[in-house]
Structure 1
Amino acid sequence: MRKELDTSILQWKNKPNNYVVGRSRIIFETMPYTDLWSRTLLGTIKNNAHSITFKIEQNFTFSCKVNYHFKKEYDQAGLVIYANDDNWFKICVEYIDEQHSLLTTVVTYHGFSDCSTTSIGSAVETMWFRVTHYNENIVVENSFDGIHYKQMRIFHMKFRGDKFEVGMFAASPKESSFDVIFEDMIVEDCIIKEENIRY
């Protein structure tokens, strides 16, 4: 089954001052000095990024179109999965400068974040992301057109409760603020089928 996300079930973590939650679109403006990172290299814990999530327990696939207009270094927007405060994941585009940005995945396990990145041009201001949960394994993908997806990462994450929190996030780690639009938010049955897995 494939359906649009019911935005009435969404809940905020670190609600921004300026936002609109519509039936098929979410728009908000980030606030300065917000971020999502834990301990590694920097030694600090930042968990004040703006995120809006829903709870889900079964195997699933969630995809979303992200439109962003970054202004300063490290401005970022994408999707997030929370098992709890010490175990979470984010996939996003992260602005570096006028020439290049980063496609970034961060897996935080037992309170420590790790990060992998791929460079893209900063002229790109729209990205589709897709996350699939299959028996405590998560596959993450990105697309430049919403049709052709490329795999970015696979990792293992256990529930730290009865459900995951899944949704959208954005943050401005420096003295910055930008507008972000999330749309085409689709929840569907897990697209990974056991018979298609290679052994």
Structure 2
Amino acid sequence: MESQSIYDSLTWYCPPADYTTSATTLTVKTAPSTDYWRKTHYGFIRDNGHFFNKHTEGDFEATVSFQGKYRDLYDQAGFMIRFDEKVWLKCGIEYYKGKRNASTVVTNDHSDWSVTPLNDMPEDGWFQLKIVWQRPAVEVFYRVDDSHEWSMMRLAYLIAPEEVKTVQFGLMACSPDGTGFEVEFKDFKVGPLSKAEQH
């Protein structure tokens, strides 16, 4: 019997026209003018990025590796955790000022944004993300090519009604200003909290 891929359990919110999956990988070509952002500084709201996700209940942790052909301002890829269009977090790499940056956006009706330049990351390096969800807190970590300890990107808080029992969680990619780019995800894993993460 053919083994099931983790991607078989996911569904698209704003699907891209061009994507492929295998047992272990997802490759996406983003569409132009796609993004997630709410209000802050720029004034606009966008809620049309590519988001391959499933509804998840309870605490969890997840990891993924990915590599993109970033070229235009704000090209981005990574994880997203979302209650609705007003409450969500996205994290990963964002292309800004000609550089790849470790990036996190936290939105509780208004978005914020933080970036850290990845000056030492090889051009062909694989960026690795880890996210730890212990509602209502979310921790985000990153490293490059298995060669470093995990570094914290963000500890954040998502405000959502108690009656909302599940979150949408999965992989995100957007091209707010450019013509689109290609990103490949691999080794996507979601599971219960490890003992080290149980606070």
For normalisation by structure 1, the TM-score amounts to 0.88
User: How far, CA to CA, are the matches of 2:137 and 2:178 in structure 1?
Assistant: 36
**Cα contact 1:81–1:167 (8 A) shared by 2:** yes
Deviations 1:149-193 (A, max 9, x none): 111111122454221111111111113211111110111211312
In structure 2, distance between residues paired with 1:96 and 1:12? 26
Deviation at 1:136, TM superposition (A): 2.0
Q: Which residue of structure 1 lines up, in the alignment, with residue 74 of structure 2?
A: 74
1:71 Cα shift? 1.7
Residue 186 of structure 1 is matched in structure 2 by: 189
Q: What residue number does 1:139 align with?
A: 139
Aligned equivalent of 1:197: none
- CA drift of 1:21 comes to 2.3
* Alignment check: 8 A CA contact 2:75 2:178 kept: no
Letter in 2 for 1:164: V
Match among 165, 168, 172 for residue 168 of structure 2: 165
Deviations 1:43-76 (A, max 9, x none): 1001111110112111110111111011211111
The 1-side partners of 2:178 and 2:69 are apart by 15
Which piece of structure 1 moves more, 35-44 or 141-150?
141-150
Aligned pairs (5 A) from 1:106-145: 106-109=105-108, 111-121=109-119, 123-124=122-123, 125-145=125-145
User: What's 2:30 paired with?
Assistant: 30
Where in structure 2 are the equivalents of 1:77-116 lying within 5 Å?
A: 77-98=77-98, 100-109=99-108, 111-116=109-114
Unaligned runs of 5+ in 2: none
Letter in 1 for 2:178: E
- 1:96: how far off? 2.4
Q: Percent identity?
A: 25
Alpha-carbon distance in 2 for matches of 1:114, 1:173: 16
SS at match of 1:105: strand
Aligned equivalents of 2:27, 2:100: Cα separation in 1: 21
How many Å apart are 1:97 and its aligned residue? 4.5
Question: Aligned-residue CA RMSD in angstroms?
Answer: 1.8
Letter in 2 for 1:152: M
Question: Relative to structure 2, which stretch is displaced further, 152-161 or 16-25?
Answer: 152-161
SS in 2 for 1:7: helix
State how far apart, in whole Å, the 1-side matches of 2:43 and 2:139 are: 28
Long gaps (5+) in structure 1: 195-199
State the number of aligned residues.
189
TM-score, normalising length: structure 2: 0.88
